[in-house]
């Protein structure tokens, strides 16, 4: 497993790296002292795991995550502010308190390995091995809306809805807003799984439950969460083509 | 400081009763004398009866007041009760008095005419209304004073409690980050790691001890700051540069504990630690007249939006200065024109005098 350690303090990085020498299967491929440097490293090295300090100069760990287009598994490291992590709604992450306990690190790594294994198993069963461009259903994104944070796996997202300069993400009953444009998002998402229904919506194709004819040769799609999205005639043709595959 | 009455409540009551009724009887005597009335045995008997009846009936009335807890009543509820009770007392007084003065003393048969009964009872009731007025007025004034004393004590106490709360706010983030650095140092530089442990112990000890004091000497505070800064230096390494410029004559000046420490911590937390390349922190202290002037300058910038984050530490320090020195101390903080933040502290020689009931303070500890 490839890992990157991100912390602004040299001694803190050193300490963690020395703790990780007990785990030969975890290879520390880079260390970063700030968010911008880390961003470059993450995008180029595509690690499986990052150890991320939250409090850093210029940009915090959260801000780094918001900027990433590729989100590896994250283990937060922090000296004290557990409360910052309480912001997370779903326990889709782990954190370590500095100074780090050996036992606690072991636990975290085991939990992580188990999750990676589960993910791989489900990937195989659904036969989604082929590499498509853009974010697929197995990828996760980091969402921060005010005080709340989520790691959202894209298969949980039913739709993205444009609201002015923001995009509302519909998943598991939550509807946080992120500061992104729908066009920008469309480019990042894999066409295979996501479809631009109209000016306002991108929908997750695997969430479609029902389609019916609508005015002017358009379609009305009902998603599994009972959301209804109208599709214009032009887009409807594209969708029919996609679905008939 | 609850004022104790020179005599017990019970004794005070009886003395007032006797003196009060005696004055009443004395007035009756004087008025009758001025009127040129006959001062016979019947008249003196009447006066004695009045005195004894007055004391006894009003005492019974007081028992009733205590038993029914009328002192707790609101004035609106109290007034009708007092009027009714006074009327009843007047009536009782009238009958007993008539019985004694006419039947026993004069030996004649009582002859009650309704109008006369009503008139005399009303007259007598006024006496009891007056009595009530004095009685309740005394208690109200006494309660008011007690409340006022209690309020003053609360104010002094809350000032003290507030000061304690405001003291010693060592940043936990700093403690755990330092521990983490020290752990890494154990392998890298064992002797430095030993020094760091000593420094951290000193800081923890001072922050615990200082919490109990109102003021400490500048030398104690600066020692804490030095230990603190060398630990931060261990964490930030070459990112942190430190300058001291301290006039030796200031070492004995008293200052509120942790006040300099808080500002230095702020300078690092919000200034230098936010900068990629780090920066310099300079501390300067000198006498200005009888005041102590301290300045802390650090690289960085106060952002308008960052107000909230900085707020607590500064507000806290300002409140402490205000509590200790009224308006004579001050703390200002501003951006300079060469990319740094300057905090200036002025601390007078003398603190404000506190008058606090120590018994009460101890109770709340």
Q: What is the mean pLDDT of residues A136-141?
A: 83
φ/ψ region of B69 (left if φ > 0, alpha if ψ in -120 to 50, else beta) reads left
Tokens of A120: 């791989």
Contacts of B233 in chain A (CB under 8 A): none
In residues, how long is chain A? 245
Distances in Å between the Cα of B18 and the Cα atoms of A167, B54, B127, B136 are: 88, 9, 15, 17
Q: Is the model's pLDDT at A131 over the cut of 80?
A: no
Nearest CA in chain B to A82: B173
Q: Is the model's pLDDT at B76 over the cut of 70?
A: yes
Phi first, then psi, for residue A163 (nearest 5°) are -140, 90
Q: Is the model's pLDDT at B4 over the cut of 60?
A: no
> What pLDDT, on the 0 to 100 scale, is given for residue B201?
92
Cα–Cα distance, B143 to B152 (Å, whole number)? 14
Q: What is the mean pLDDT of residues B21-32?
A: 88
The H-or-E segment that residue B213 falls in is none
Contacts of A81 in chain B (CB under 8 A): 173
CA dihedral A21, A22, A24, A25 (to 10 degrees): -110
Q: What is the mean pLDDT of residues A28-57?
A: 91
In terms of DSSP bridges, do strands B279-288 and A27-32 run parallel, antiparallel, or are they unpaired? unpaired
- Write the DSSP assignment of B45-88 as a string of letters: HHHHHHHHHHHHHHHHHHHHHHHTTGGGS-HHHHHHHHHHHHHH
> What pLDDT, on the 0 to 100 scale, is given for residue B365?
42
Please report where in the chains the tokens 């009714």 appear, as a residue.
B84
Q: Which of B104-108, B119-123, B310-314 has the highest mean pLDDT?
A: B119-123
Contacts of B309 in chain A (CB under 8 A): none
Cα–Cα distance, B120 to B101 (Å, whole number)? 14
- How many CB atoms neighbour CB A91 within 10 A? 7
- CA angle, residues A3, A9, A11, in degrees to nearest 5: 85
B172–A contact, CB cutoff 8 A:
yes
Task: Look at B184 and A14 and tell me if their CB atoms are within 8 Å.
Answer: yes
Contacts of A14 in chain B (CB under 8 A): 184, 188
Q: Are B183 and A99 in contact, with CB atoms under 8 Å apart? A: yes
> What pLDDT, on the 0 to 100 scale, is given for residue B357?
44
- pLDDT tens digits, one per residue of B192-209: 999 999 999 988 888 777
Tokens of A229: 């999205």
- pLDDT tens digits, one per residue of A79-130: 876 666 666 655 557 888 889 999 999 999 998 888 888 877 766 555 444 4
Mutate to test the interface with B, among A36, A59, A79 (most CBs of B within 10 A): A79
Contacts of A53 in chain B (CB under 8 A): none
Query: What whole-number percentage of chain B has pLDDT above 90?
Result: 26
Q: Which of A6-10, A147-151, B67-71, B99-103 has the highest mean pLDDT?
A: A6-10
Confidence of residue B259 (pLDDT cuts 50, 70, 90): confident
Q: What is the mean pLDDT of residues B152-159?
A: 73
Mutate to test the interface with B, among A5, A7, A8, A9 (most CBs of B within 10 A): A9
Dmax (CA) of chain A? 66
| Interface ipTM above 0.85 | no
Q: Which of A146-155, A176-185, A227-236, B1-10 has the lowest mean pLDDT?
A: B1-10
Least CB–CB distance from B235: residue in A9, A14, A18:
A9
Confidence of residue B242 (pLDDT cuts 50, 70, 90): very high
In terms of DSSP bridges, do strands B216-217 and B330-335 run parallel, antiparallel, or are they unpaired? unpaired
Q: Which of A182-186, B74-78, B167-171 has the lowest mean pLDDT?
A: B167-171
- pLDDT tens digits, one per residue of A189-203: 888 889 999 889 999
> What pLDDT, on the 0 to 100 scale, is given for residue B167?
56
Q: Is the model's pLDDT at B27 over the cut of 60?
A: yes
Q: Which is more confidently placed, B31 or B157?
A: B31
Give residues with Cβ within 8 angstroms of B26, minimum separation 6: none
């Amino acid at each position: 497993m490839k890992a990157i350690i991100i912390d602004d303090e040299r001694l803190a990085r050193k300490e963690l790296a020395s703790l990780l020498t007990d785990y030969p299967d975890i290879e520390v491929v880079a260390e970063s002292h700030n968010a911008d440097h880390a961003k470059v490293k993450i995008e180029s090295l595509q690690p499986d795991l990052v150890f991320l300090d939250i409090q850093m100069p210029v940009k915090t760990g959260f801000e780094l995550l918001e900027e990433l287009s590729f989100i590896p598994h994250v283990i937060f490291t922090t000296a004290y502010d557990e409360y910052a992590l309480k912001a997370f709604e779903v326990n889709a992450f782990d954190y370590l308190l500095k100074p780090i306990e050996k036992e606690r690190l072991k636990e975290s790594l085991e939990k992580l390995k188990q999750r990676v294994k589960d993910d791989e198993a489900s990937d195989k069963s659904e036969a989604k091995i082929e590499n498509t461009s853009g974010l697929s259903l197995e990828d996760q994104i980091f969402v921060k809306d005010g005080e709340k944070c989520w790691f959202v796996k894209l298969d949980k997202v039913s739709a993205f809805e444009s609201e002015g300069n923001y995009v509302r993400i519909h998943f598991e009953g939550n509807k946080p807003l992120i500061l992104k444009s729908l066009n920008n998002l469309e480019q990042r998402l894999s066409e295979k799984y996501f479809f631009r229904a109209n000016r306002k919506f991108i929908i997750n194709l695997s969430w479609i439950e029902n389609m019916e004819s609508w005015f002017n040769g358009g379609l009305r799609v009902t998603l599994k969460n009972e959301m209804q999205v109208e599709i214009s005639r032009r887009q409807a043709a594209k969708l029919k083509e996609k679905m008939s595959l | 400081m609850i004022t104790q009455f020179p005599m017990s409540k019970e004794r005070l009551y009886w003395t007032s009763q006797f003196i009060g009724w005696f004055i009443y009887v004395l007035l009756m005597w004087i008025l009758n004398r001025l009127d040129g009335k006959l001062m016979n045995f019947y008249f003196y008997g009447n006066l004695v009866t009045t005195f004894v009846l007055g004391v006894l009936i009003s005492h019974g009335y007081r028992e009733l007041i205590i038993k029914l807890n009328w002192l707790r009543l609101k004035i609106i509820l109290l007034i009708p009760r007092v009027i009714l009770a006074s009327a009843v007392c007047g009536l009782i007084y009238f009958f007993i008095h008539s019985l004694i003065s006419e039947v026993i003393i004069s030996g004649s048969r009582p002859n009650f005419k309704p109008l006369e009964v009503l008139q005399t009872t009303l007259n007598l009731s006024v006496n009891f209304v007056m009595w009530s007025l004095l009685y309740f007025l005394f208690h109200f004034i006494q309660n008011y004073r007690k409340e006022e004393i209690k309020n003053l004590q609360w104010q002094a106490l809350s000032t003290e409690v507030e000061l304690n709360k405001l003291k010693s706010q060592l940043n936990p983030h700093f403690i755990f980050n330092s521990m983490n650095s020290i752990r890494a140092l154990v392998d890298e530089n064992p002797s430095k790691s030993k020094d760091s442990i000593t420094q951290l112990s000193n800081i923890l000890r001072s922050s615990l001890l200082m919490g109990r004091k109102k003021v400490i000497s500048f030398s104690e505070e600066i020692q804490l700051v030095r230990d603190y800064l060398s630990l931060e230096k261990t964490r930030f390494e070459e990112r942190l540069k430190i300058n001291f410029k301290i006039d030796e004559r200031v070492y004995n000046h008293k200052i509120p504990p942790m006040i300099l420490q808080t500002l230095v911590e702020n300078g690092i937390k919000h200034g230098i630690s936010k900068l990629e390349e780090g920066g310099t922190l300079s501390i300067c202290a000198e006498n200005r007249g009888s005041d102590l002037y301290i300045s802390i300058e650090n690289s960085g910038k106060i952002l308008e939006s960052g107000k909230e984050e900085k707020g607590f530490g500064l507000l806290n320090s300002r409140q402490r200065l205000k509590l200790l020195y009224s308006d004579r101390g001050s703390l200002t903080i501003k951006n300079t024109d060469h990319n740094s933040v300057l905090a200036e502290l002025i601390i007078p020689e003398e603190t404000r005098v506190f008058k606090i009931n120590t018994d009460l303070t101890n109770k709340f500890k």
